[in-house]
Structure 1
Amino acid sequence: MAFKGHNALASGRFDIAARPLGAGGHSTVFKAKDKAYTDPSRSFALKVYDPQQPDEAAGSTVHPSDMNEMLAFDLLQSIAETKAIASGIPPGFYRRAWHPNVVRRYGHHMASKSTRHGDQWLLLELLEGAQSLGRCSEVSAFEVKAVLYEMLHMLAFLHQNDIAHGDISSENLVVCRKIEGLPLLEAIDFGLSVHAKTQQAMGAAESERGFQGARGTPGYFTPEMTWPYAAHSDPKGSPMFQRYDERKGDIFQAGVVAVEVATGKNAAKDLFPLGRATKQGVAQLSRQLFTFTGRPGNEEAAAMGFPQGLFSDIEVSSADGIKAKLRRWGVGDEGLLDVLSK
């Protein structure tokens, strides 16, 4: 049966639950059934984007991060299709070759000039019973190791295909059904991803984030993202600040997630808090980061206008020092301590 129109809310194509599953800055996710799908009884997660005011230059009503997410899924689908062909999987079943730790896409539509709510949407796999990693109850050391392995396995896949997620956080990693007793981790929200179809992450304007270079979730900003003169804002880099590599940012954020899961701490509240984007706030956050990374150095700090001697009373933590801190935070598993202190 053919369905006229693509409006997710008005076309009649979707049976949409009245109560949303969740909402973001400019999108809402509903549980929905797609009458156009081969199995109309199957439920999906329908992500409906809010149309923006038309851009004066391009005339588009699609938020840049929404378009970026759509392009990221185009690329992920292309990768899955190529792998399916190489594996002898029929083209129509390419999702069998989709990476198990990345949420699957089943449909999309982007009416880039429309201001109607429901003309821009993404149809995703419904992760029944899933919880964001940050909302999971107590996690055993064994489960933490499984989650860390899956997270790094997922990032290795993305990075090998020149994709950086750009916003790894405990809210953008969900844990769902268990396979042989292990949690299954899946990455969601590719709005700030960096990939072949875009030259840079197309999230909210830097001014909306409060200071230059920071994008993503507070508590997970990499050292480069927090610094006013970081190379994040200079794609060519400079003698002092090397060109920012978002893939390295993914790894840093994954490390923050790992510490969160292992200790029960909250990144924004306990690890790398940033209450407001003042120079003092950035300096305080930089002191926290310096403990773990040894950056920014004296020359970098001076270039950013930080007070002289801002880090003079801090010693960069050695592996043993980080282990000691993690033990104080409740991590007792030696294997985890070895991984988290590297």
Structure 2
Amino acid sequence: MGLAITGVAWDDFRLVKAVADRGGLTRAAEDLGINHSTAFRRLAAIEAQTGTRLFERHRGGYVATPAGIAMIEAAGRMEAQVARFQRESAGRSLEPAGELRITAPAGLVANTLMPLLGRFAERYPLICLDLVVSEEALNLSRRDADVAIRASDEPPATLVGRRLATIQWAVYGRSDRIWPPLSECVWVCPSEAVAGGRFTRFLAGRATSGRLGMRINTVLGLREAIEAGIGVGPLPCWDADASPTLVRLSETVPELTAGLWLLTHPDLRHAGRVRAFMDFMAEAFVGLRPAIEGLSRPR
């Protein structure tokens, strides 16, 4: 039986794609801002209108049928076209005004980025900032964000921007303790899931006779754990050197180095609010670069 999609609304395509992406009705309904019963009735109506079943219901979730896959693929193409239209429309706005969605990692937000955002907001009062704090790389092509501040060795080729600095890391511990050689210390370290296992590989070559005191599944909270005395561990120099309770115990660590990038989508780079933000941050980070690159004198 063929799939008849004549007269099916864009919102129906969105629902079918959301069910596929989220594996079921409940999470799809949450994403779309509707309740479960509404999503159930709408999906039943879509299947009745198209004359075919779009999903097989299994205990583990909803699995798309061939007809469902065809509709999901069509929805993906439509979503890409809508996102492209939105980007191009936003890119035509030359005035620094309107909503600007920024994504940045949590470790950068509180002490470093927020004061800069305060100064930016004062300079551009017609821009409404929407800050998405996330360690994940949001999709700028879908306009999950307009601008990303991202730690990366290889930023996506589909984005444009500039390298703000090189993030240097070193090993730190509490400044009120006398530490044995690092190989004998108790360590605090991000888990295998962080940065592709980079920190786990780093630790394997150093904690030869020491032990792991804490593993954390994010960089957020790492400094607080080391300040609490749980152990020594790697920290970005710009953050740790500013803490009076910490002391640097090593030289900077090349294998943990990463670039700090300011990125946007090519369709948005000429939009007034995006251009204003990119220029402002590039200038502001010049003064922060020595601390980010570990050039400030350790105590």
Scaled by the length of structure 2, the TM-score of the pair is 0.29
Larger radius of gyration: 2
Scaled by the length of structure 1, the TM-score of the pair is 0.26
Q: Which has the higher helix share?
A: 2
